[in-house]
Structure 1
Amino acid sequence: MSKYKVELNGNNIEEYEKLSHQQTMELLELYQQNHDLKIKERLVLSNLKLVLSLVQKYQQRVNNLDDLFQVGVIGLMKAIDHFDTSLDVRFSTYAVPLISGEIKRYLRESSPLRIPRSLRDIAYKALLMNEEYMKKYNREATFKELSKSLDIDEYTLVEALSSTHNVTSLSQEVQNDGNGPIDLESQIPDRRSEMMDIQKSIDLQKAMRYLDQKEMQIIHEHYFKGLTQREIAKDLMISQAQVSRIEKQALSQLKKYMSG
């Protein structure tokens, strides 16, 4: 896979047939009916670029991407075998976690580090649960959702999941929530930060007592309930400009009481 170019039978994967979503679904339905290996081969070849895109994420961590690519293809074939065409899900959406799962499993098993069995068990359960989230909600589960479902704290979850990878930096991406990458360091709870947040919360509650009823209601509805100024204005039967003015005044008061 030098220069990220993959060749099979002397052909660059870029040259293989590209199937539309409809063509892919039709072939998947046909394959499920007759298990024709020629159809499966066509589906595999048309999705090799997807495998390559996932494999390339590990280019800084492994010496031989060819082995990883072959492992990814195994995940792709499993996705073809188990895909349910009755679900309103694109094949690529379903295939990605299976391909990634095979790759991560290979890296975990080939890692020279000895990972505690307890962490491996947690990581395994978390990965399975994440796959279930992908099938059910068409997205990956968040760390908060996984930790709650597994009844463990987020610190332990991150430690377990990070143990499935080779040694990496804290800036290594471990999840993407659709708004950008999330690195490992950001997922490790900062106990000092938590204590500071608690203290700020206490100070804020004390400062709120100095606001009048209307100021307190506007602050509560805007910052705690997420209502817009327009929605608050309608609720209080005043203009949006008045809401804005009262909010600024309340924030100024809070800042004054909290700073001194």
Structure 2
Amino acid sequence: MTDNLQLLRLAKEGDITARDRLITENMGLVVSVAKRYIGRGQELEDLIQIGLIGLIKAVDRFDLEYDVMFSTYSVPLIQGEIRRFLRDDGLVRVSRNLKTIHYRAEKYRQEYQRTNGREPTVDEICAKIGSDPEELVMAMESAVDISNIEEMGELQTSRREEERVVEKLYVKQLLDTLPEREKKLITLRYFGEKTQGEIGRILGMSQVQVSRLEKKILRELKRA
């Protein structure tokens, strides 16, 4: 298997073959994430198709300057697409079947446009996804109702959400460089919301020792 970073570099330079290969070679990641959502009223195949959209977004958005693995970066985007697909609450409720048709059609439309330089016709989309024109039109119109309501807020927050994901990944990587006791202290303090006294009892330290060690760790993390 070719290195993801090498394929990403080529894809960023406009190499469509490298981009397609990157997507293909990381499909196992999509399948792995999709399996976590089995039992929520959708077939695994549908969840994989939706997760694939997240993988494609990860390929297109990934910055080579990110100091994280591509697979680590991709998982939240894949999960986000699947969760959005499963989400039923909203001002307009769309049937699961129509949502499935819309996602499949939109994914094919984007891929077709990149490859052929034009939008596919309705007949071409229907032939690809196994739908009929009436169903496709109904699915696209239903999706517009939701996207018009949600899109304004999502467009404004999507970039910041992506930045937060990257920031969390950086923090996790920094924590992984700490000795086990120091990592546990910071995890309990800032993710478990424990007091210094509680942490001291867990780690067998005094509150003063916890306070001193916490300040030392934070200085080191800040420098890093």
**TM-score, normalised by the number of residues in structure 1:** 0.41
Q: From the two aligned structures, give the one with the greater helix fraction.
A: 2
**TM-score, normalised by the number of residues in structure 2:** 0.47
Of the two, which has the highest radius of gyration?
1
Q: Identify which of structures 1 and 2 has the higher relative contact order when contacts are C-alpha pairs closer than 8 Å and 6+ apart.
A: 2
